[in-house]
Amino acid sequence: MFLSREEEKILDGEKGWILERAMRLLTTIGDLNNAERLVPIKRSQVAGVSYKTVGDPTLHLVEEFARENVRVRTKATQNPAGMDLKRWREMGVPDGFAKKQLRICRAYEKLGVEAVCTCTPYLSGNRPKFGETAGFSESSAVAFVNSVVGARTNRHGGLDALSAALIGKVPLMGYLLNENRTGDVYVKVCFKPMNETDYAALGYYVGREVKTDGVPVYDGIKNASLDDLKLLGAASAASGSVALFHVLDLTPEAKNIRGVFGGKKPKYKLEVTREEVQSVYDEFPMREKPDLVAIGCPHSSVQELKKIAELISGRRVKRGIRFWVFTSPKVFEEADKSGYISVIRSAGGDVFLNTCMVVAPIEEIGFRCVYTNSAKAAFYIPRMTKNKCKSGIASLRTCIELCTTS
Ligand code: F3S
């Protein structure tokens, strides 16, 4: 991989051991992927924040980094932490967990990574433009900015996203290159999605089928909202490793079928009917009474909070069930001004920031069955709780009707 004189100096340790390590990680990834060189970025999203997912090794590593005098060179935001950074006691998060979580977030902040703690940084001021190269981790954010915004990022891990933020560069490879952004699999959507969870189930099914086969191109989706695409992308990134998808006539790089496949033939075709989508609902059945109904994977937008407020208005959350919504501080502030938060809270629900039902220690809090409208969350909840917690999916409307009385 070609390195400039300046980059070589960093690799030789002339700018300190942290930047040397960051450069070594980026150049190793670049060499393994035949990258020609590094290219500059202005934005990063750094995963590896929740104490539940990263534990003591990352806590100590980030604190070690923070003791040195280095700062990121890009706008950089933190992924969700394991708790609401202010209202963790209301969530029931244990003290020991909270102390360590706060140390992780503070250490990242010292490095210049903002403690926005959201997986939707693109709704909180960290949104790359169409065609812009970025260094994002967090699979759902990667899928959204690549596919819906048309920005360019690879699916980085937490440490390489942090390294990219510290160096201000990423290797030129993968989804940064035109030839890797064209379609690989043609997906004919042969049913009419009725709500956001149908889109999530569609994404989940397609991700499971496509796995690592490349870029799916959806044909037959009309009128999907940005929130629908957010849930679809998050689900296919979870069940497969889809970092980029296109929707014909909807997403910015899918103007026509010839162009989206770059003139080549799809590797194969998939047809998705209501039956395939139903198989996803069947994988996460709603058989038991839930103790938590959780919305906001990925973190809720203002529009979603508005919809939740409309659906829950005049209703009351049932005894024995909690109704929690997760979002980012910036979105919360806007939704609060419009009165949506107080409607949700007066119905007995709550809205928490900086965290979610997957990366918070819900099993330690005592939850055993969670219903959600997100296929990504339904997929991860049993895995992240070592099967102490079950999950089920249904649409937002059904979730709210189920956990409230009128
Ligand atoms: Fe975000 Fe947590 Fe879902 S990080 S995408 S809300 S699993």
pLDDT digits (tens, 9 = 90+) for 87-107: 999 999 999 999 999 999 999
- What pLDDT is attached to residue 213? 87
- What pLDDT is attached to residue 70? 96
- What pLDDT is attached to residue 360? 98
Ligand 1: centre distance to CA 140 (Å) = 8
pLDDT confidence band for 123 (50 / 70 / 90): very high
Q: How many residues does this entry show for the chain?
A: 406
Written in H, E and C, the secondary structure of 112-151 is: CCECCCCCCHHHCCCCCCCCCECEEECHHHHHHHHHHHCC
Q: What's the Cα-to-Cα distance from 403 to each of 5, 240, 307, 347, rounded to whole Å?
A: 61, 31, 16, 11
Ligand 1: centre distance to CA 377 (Å) = 7
| Residue with token string 């403690």 | 115
Q: What is the pLDDT of residues 173-187, one digit of tens each?
A: 999 999 999 999 999
pTM beyond 0.95: yes
Q: What's the Cα-to-Cα distance from 367 to each of 46, 96, 295, 360, 405, rounded to whole Å?
A: 28, 19, 15, 11, 21
Structure tokens at 144: 């959204």
Mean pLDDT, range 339-352, rounded to an integer: 98
Angle between helices 375-384 and 226-239 (to 10 degrees): 40
Which residue, 264, 270, 321, 328, is CA-closest to 127? Answer: 328
Three-state DSSP state, 286 = coil
Counting ligand 1 atoms within 8 A of each CB, the residue from 204, 297, 383 with the most, and so the one to mutate, is 297
Which residue's CA is the nearest one to ligand 1's atom 1?
298
Three-state DSSP state, 78 = strand
| Residue with token string 């004189």 | 5
Mean pLDDT, range 39-50, rounded to an integer: 98
377 lines ligand 1 (CB under 6 A): yes
Query: What CA–CA distance (Å, rounded) separates 378 from 196?
Result: 14
Ligand 1: centre distance to CA 256 (Å) = 32
The residues, ordered by sequence, that sit 6+ positions from 20 with a Cβ below 8 Å of its Cβ are 10, 11, 12, 13
Query: Which backbone phi and psi does 398 adopt, to 5 degrees?
Result: -65, -40
Q: What's the Cα-to-Cα distance from 80 to each of 37, 69, 105, 354, 362, rounded to whole Å?
A: 31, 25, 10, 5, 14
Residues 60, 66, 67: CA angle, nearest 5 degrees: 95
For residue 53, pLDDT beyond 90: yes
Residues 118, 67, 65: CA angle, nearest 5 degrees: 55
Ligand 1: centre distance to CA 119 (Å) = 6
- What pLDDT is attached to residue 117? 98
For residue 390, pLDDT beyond 90: yes
Query: What CA–CA distance (Å, rounded) separates 303 from 256?
Result: 29
Q: What is the pLDDT of residues 135-171, one digit of tens each?
A: 999 999 999 999 999 999 999 999 999 999 999 999 9
200 lines ligand 1 (CB under 6 A): no
Query: Are 59 and 100 in contact, with CB atoms under 8 Å apart?
Result: yes
Q: What is the pLDDT of residues 217-270, one digit of tens each?
A: 999 999 999 999 999 999 999 999 999 999 999 999 999 999 999 999 999 999
Q: What is the pLDDT of residues 285-295, one digit of tens each?
A: 999 999 999 99
Q: What is the pLDDT of residues 286-345, one digit of tens each?
A: 999 999 999 999 999 999 999 999 999 999 999 999 999 999 999 999 999 999 999 999
Q: What's the Cα-to-Cα distance from 338 to each of 66, 276, 279, rounded to whole Å?
A: 38, 39, 38
Counting ligand 1 atoms within 8 A of each CB, the residue from 53, 119, 355 with the most, and so the one to mutate, is 119
pLDDT confidence band for 69 (50 / 70 / 90): confident
Ligand 1: centre distance to CA 68 (Å) = 31
Mean pLDDT over all residues of the chain? Answer: 97
Which residue's CA is the nearest one to ligand 1's atom 3?
297
Q: pLDDT over 70 for what percent of the chain?
A: 100
**Residue 140 alpha carbon, nearest atom of ligand 1:** 5
Tell me: cis bond preceding 298? Omega within 30 of 0 counts.
yes
Mean pLDDT, range 123-141, rounded to an integer: 98
Query: Are 176 and 133 in contact, with CB atoms under 8 Å apart?
Result: yes
